[in-house]
Amino acid sequence: MTVEMGPPPAPCVPAYRWRLQDRTTVFGTWCPWCRVVHGYAWPEATARPRMAHCATRESPFCARYYRLVCLGELKDGVYAPTLAQAEMIAAVKRLSAPGGRGSAADSSIAAIPAYRLRSSPMHLAFWCPWCRDVHLHGAAAGDGHRVAHCDVESSPFRDGGYHLTCFGTAPSGRLLPHQTAHELLVVSKMLGDREAMS
């Protein structure tokens, strides 16, 4: 199993931030090859390339650089969503594909990272920064368009709904990553090329 690393820019991996007890913010990505979270100091807003901490030779990132794209805040790094190796490779492809390439009819509809819940496997869920609440959807249909569960008038999803993209398994609805509206819009733009997602 390989990931096309290609020339720079380095591939993008899904990552999450959280605060340590001393209030320092760090962020990291859960690695399905090493089966740990590789953590880094929380930096500037730009996702600059970082050397992967992989000690597992089978990892496509071992001794390579990647860029961590923050998909939200966790209560702690131990709650980072987990992905199977194939899921991580798919997630990296989705995040790394140049956005806006296709002219999908639903390109105005936000693409939102969502998660299966270990506590409730029939659901695909995400924490909505507009409603400040968890939106639960059926997981059976897989990735794709859903009618928005937003209750607040200010939500940009109310009319067109949203396009859910699964980024692995979170422990429960209470432990989902909390993304800011800005983080969600940045990632949505990165995922904008729907054709590259299949």
Q: Could you list the residues that contact Zn ion (CB under 5 A)?
A: 31, 33-34, 54, 59, 128, 130-131, 150, 155
| 33/115 with CB nearer Zn ion | 33
- Distance of closest approach, residue 33 Cβ to Zn ion, in angstroms: 5
- Minimal distance, residue 150 CB to Zn ion, in Å: 3
Rank residues 99 and 161 by Cβ distance to Zn ion and give the closer one.
161
Q: How far is the CB of 148 from Zn ion (least distance, A)?
A: 6
| Smallest distance, Zn ion to C-beta of residue 55, A | 7
Q: Which is nearer to Zn ion, 94 or 149 (CB)?
A: 149
Q: What radius of gyration do the chain's Cα atoms show?
A: 16
If the CB atoms of residues 93 and 158 are measured against Zn ion, the closer one turns out to be 158
